[in-house]
A = this chain, B = another copy of it.
Amino acid sequence: MLKNPDNLQKKLGLHFTDPELFKVALTHRSFGANNNERLEFLGDSILGFVIARKLYDIYPEASEGVLSRLRASLVNEGSLAELARKLQLGDYLLLGTGELKSGGFRRDSILSDALEAIMGALYLDQGMTSCQQWIEQLFTEKLGGLSLESWRKDPKTQLQELMQARKLELPDYTLITMSGLAHEQTFKVKCTVSVLAEACTGTGGTRKKAEQDAAEKMLQLLKDSL
């Protein structure tokens, strides 16, 4: 049996002035005409703003490109569905019989849309400030788990772009040695660039990792020799 939406409100820490609006947010289009699609449109735009604003604050040094990548990593169907599952949203969704039978309450798109629709409904019910606070709280863990470092471009890409920007030849990577048994091999790679006589060597468990390591050292060397 479908669970009572009031219990979901409690679980979400919400108290809608208009509980009907909350119910619409939980209604998939397969259930009827008065469904959550319009609320999802609204909620999606609110979520985009709230996360943009938060990232803008947390990372005063991050470029627009980094901010965009960070936001995309937080706001996507998979990550929203994950949040929706933690809140057991699926147990409260109103779905048509077809969707019910095919397990629609477990589908990423349906869960993610419903979560965005709740945001839209909350905004209509209680205004931007409350909605913003609720969304920020919902994303606390995900925001905390972000690392700016992990969203920097990898060293090989950085080095390549640096060379391109200065209209220099692209870096060259050569495998020097490969040692160890299968599954435990160590790769050693040499990286050279046309502007420096010195080469950098990197090591790693795969050729790619060794190249990244070499590129990172080369970036440092270039920085030091400026």
Expressed in whole angstroms, the Cα–Cα distance for A37 and B42 within the complex equals: 25
The reply to whether B38 and A42 form a contact with Cβ atoms under 8 Å apart is no
**Chain A, 40-81, contact with B by CB distance < 8 Å: what is the 0/1 string?**
111011101101110010000011100110000000000000
**Contact of A128 with B by CB under 8 A:** yes
Contact residues of A: prevailing secondary structure: helix
Partner of A128, one of B40, B67, B128: B128
**Chain A, 111-129, contact with B by CB distance < 8 Å: what is the 0/1 string?**
0000000000000000010
Which A residues form the contact surface with B (CB < 8 A)? 37-38, 40-42, 44-46, 48-49, 51-53, 56, 62-64, 67-68, 128
16 inter-chain pairs at a CB distance below 8 angstroms, sorted by A residue, are A37-B63, A37-B64, A38-B56, A38-B62, A38-B63, A38-B67, A40-B64, A41-B52, A41-B56, A41-B67, A42-B52, A45-B48, A45-B49, A45-B52, A45-B53, A49-B49
